[in-house]
Amino acid sequence: MSSRSSLDRILQSQGFGTRKYCRQLIAEGDVSVGGDVVTDYRASFDTDGLVFSVFGEEWTYREHVYIAINKPANFECSRKPSHHPGVLTLLPEQFSWREVQPVGRLDHDTTGLLLLSDDGAFIHAQSSPRRHVPKLYVATTHDPVTPELIAHLLGGVQLHDEPAPLAAIRCDMLDAHRLEIVLEQGKYHQVKRMLAAAGNHCSALCRTAIGGLTLEALELAEGEWCFLEQAQLDLLAPAA
């Protein structure tokens, strides 16, 4: 839904700082709309499809942001990281002002597809265990992958704090020390714990897909990010 708002409020809503700072940016000629510098913070604009520039960098107004990032190793999925840099340090600073946060978590040493947003309803919905959205991982194992290991993961392994065995939706051998595994549950350290319970050890882990959204289609190198548009968000729906 489109609406009109003053330029300082627009900049603040998009994460460029406090109202006072946004007014300063405007007054100093650092903001342009439609190619024209605007120095009056009270100037109002229709936010629907609004394109503006700050310090010469172009942005499109977004009521909420939905982001995918190819997370590198040794970054924590936390707004308050403790031992490693936070994944938000890989994004422009205004996303922190917008209180963007990860949707779920990947361990600090796990790489791959991670979603982030400032839309609380979206985060809650995507994080709900009731959604049953399949997630695809590529796991590198310490010991060789065997048909018995695959069968064990597909048949279900018992984890000490779970009431029932957890099974992979799909599991395929890629090579002697790598397998693809698809899970729906999203339990804490699930892939690593399942491999340990099955008698192996996970030495590296990468999430390559969530639902129908894949890293390959996004073409993101490690550390790169992109906005997700509606067609891509639709791919996150549970399997029919």
Q: Give the domain extent around 32.
A: 4-60
Whether the full predicted model's pTM is greater than 0.75, yes or no, is yes
Active site residue 109: no
Among 35, 60, 85, the domain boundary falls at: 60
Q: Determine which one of 36, 40, 48, 107 is catalytic.
A: 107
3-class state of residue 213 by DSSP: strand
Q: Are residues 33 and 144 in the same domain?
A: no
Q: What is the mean pLDDT of residues 44-73?
A: 95
If asked whether residues 44 and 148 sit together in one domain, one would say no
Q: How many domains does the chain have?
A: 3
The CB-side HSE value for 3 (13 A sphere, CA atoms) comes to: 8
Residue where a domain stops, chosen among 14, 42, 60: 60
Choice among 33-37, 99-103, 161-165 with the minimum mean pLDDT: 161-165
Cα distances (angstroms) measured from residue 179 to each of 104, 161, 168 = 23, 25, 12
CB atoms within 10 A of CB 189: 13
Residue 28 in any domain: the answer is yes
How, if at all, do strands 111-117 and 135-141 pair?
unpaired
Q: What are phi and psi of 120, to 5 degrees?
A: -60, -40
Residues 79 and 171 in one domain: no
pLDDT at 50 (0 to 100)? 94
The yes-or-no verdict on residue 79 having pLDDT over 80 is no
Written as six digits, the tokens of 110 are 């796990």
Quick one: 178 and 228 in the same domain?
Answer: no
Q: Are residues 70 and 47 in the same domain?
A: no
Task: Give CA–CA dist 116/87, Å, rounded.
Answer: 10
164 has pLDDT over 90: no
Give the 3-state secondary structure of 64-100: CCEEEEEECCCCECCCCCCCCCEHHHHCCCHHHHCCC
240 lies in some domain:
no
Strand 51-54 and strand 31-33: the pairing is antiparallel
CATH of the domain at 25: 3.10.290.10
